[in-house]
Amino acid sequence: MLTLTHLYWLVGAIMTLVAVLTLLDQAHPRRFRSGLFWLCYAAIFIVGDWLPTAVVGALVIGMALLAGLGGLAAGPYQPLSEAQQQHSLQRLGKKLFIPALAIPGFTLVLVLMMGQMPGLHWFDPKNLTLLSLGVACILAFAIACYLTRESPRQGGLEAKRLLEAIGWAFLLPHLLATLGLLFNQAGVGQIIATLSNDYLQLDSRLAAVAAYALAMAGFTVIMGNAFAAFPVITAGLGIPLLIMQYNANPAVMAAIGMFCGYCGTLLTPMAANFNIVPVALLGLKDQHAVIKAQAPTALLLLLVNIVLLDQLAF
């Protein structure tokens, strides 16, 4: 049966390939530091489960220093010549869309198929979507190589080019998720809940609703993740105030409360995979361009959520 471990090995293998290609690239401006970064990351994916966790922690700090201090840079890349690309475009035309659409297409088919036939035991049912995505990407990669008549090595070079374009932003979402777990272990959530219980005096229903909604959004801005904010703010404000004192419907409160958190996610650089990685992927000049594009929608929706919560929950 395919499990997450196999998927991690695949990712580790790709990272090893990127590391080797980088180390072999004599014209690369940060050859050894970039290569070392990808080797460390690959090791964490391939043998991470068998390493002492303190060693993994030390590797993480090392990788953060390598990435944060400018150790990742773009190497030279040889694109196809204008004429070759035109020739390729003429030959392939709309067929170029096939591998791109095959990624979601195969994922969807695999999820539905394996969901219908749990007796097969091919995929670990707990991680069905991720494993389907992994298999779909292998299939789509094969199709892409066949159509473009390129070698898997060129595929590795392309992955390396895009990873170099993303740069340190690639590590950021993973690091932020790690920080979220560390905050939990250090009891940051409980401190916030205690503080808000002790110091917030809310004597009208609307004020309580607004406080809960804004706290969900605000704490999500800090943590970068509404899932991290939900237990803290709901334990601190939602249950004692809205449910106990004003008899709110818990299902409504939870549903809309979580959405208030999502409004916060749209506003924060801490949600790096949504707000910072695309800036790197699209090559935008302004680091906060995506957040600025989202802000009006997020703020209006937060207001709508407060009204909806006040009208629907009681």
Partner 1 sequence: MNYWPLLGIAVVIIGFVLRFNAVLVVICAGIVTGLCAWMPPLQLLSALGESFLKTRTLPVILLLPLAIIGLLERHGLKQQAQRFIAGVKGATVGRLLSIYLLAREGSAALGLTSLGGHPQMVRPLVAPMAEALAERQHPGLSQTLRDKVKAMAAATDNIGLFFGEDVFVAFGAIVLMHTFLRESGIETDPMHIALWGIPTAIAAFLIHAVRLHRLDHVLAAEQARLSKSVQRNPEPPAC
Minimum CB separation from partner 1 for residue 36, in Å?
A: 15
Minimum CB separation from partner 1 for residue 30, in Å?
A: 15
- The nearer residue to partner 1, 185 or 203, going by C-beta atoms, is 185
Rounded Cα distance, 49 and 57, in Å: 12
- The nearer residue to partner 1, 32 or 86, going by C-beta atoms, is 86
- Planar angle of CA 144, 145, 147, nearest 5 degrees: 65
Minimum CB separation from partner 1 for residue 188, in Å?
A: 5
Distances (CA, A) of 210 to 192, 202, 214, 235, 256: 17, 10, 6, 16, 12
Is the distance from CB of 19 to CB of 39 less than 8 angstroms?
A: yes
Helix orientation angle between 172-185 and 53-68, rounded to the nearest 10 degrees = 130
- The nearer residue to partner 1, 203 or 285, going by C-beta atoms, is 285
How many of the other CB atoms lie within 10 Å of CB of 144? 20
Length, in residues, of the chain: 314
Minimum CB separation from partner 1 for residue 39, in Å?
A: 15
- Planar angle of CA 59, 60, 66, nearest 5 degrees: 90
Structure tokens at 30: 């940060």
Q: On the CB side of 83, how many CA atoms lie within 13 Å of its CA? A: 0
Minimum CB separation from partner 1 for residue 75, in Å?
A: 14
Structure tokens at 9: 């090995």
Is the distance from CB of 184 to CB of 230 less than 8 angstroms?
A: no
Minimum CB separation from partner 1 for residue 209, in Å?
A: 14
Minimum CB separation from partner 1 for residue 202, in Å?
A: 20
- The nearer residue to partner 1, 202 or 279, going by C-beta atoms, is 279
- The nearer residue to partner 1, 134 or 211, going by C-beta atoms, is 134
- The nearer residue to partner 1, 203 or 287, going by C-beta atoms, is 287
DSSP string, 61-105: HHHHHHHHTT--------PPPHHHHHHHHHHHGGGGHHHHHHHHH
Is the distance from CB of 252 to CB of 309 less than 8 angstroms?
A: yes
Minimum CB separation from partner 1 for residue 254, in Å?
A: 4
Task: Map tokens 């790690």 to a residue.
Answer: 178
- The nearer residue to partner 1, 90 or 203, going by C-beta atoms, is 90
* DSSP 8-state secondary structure symbol assigned to residue 273: H
- The nearer residue to partner 1, 191 or 206, going by C-beta atoms, is 191
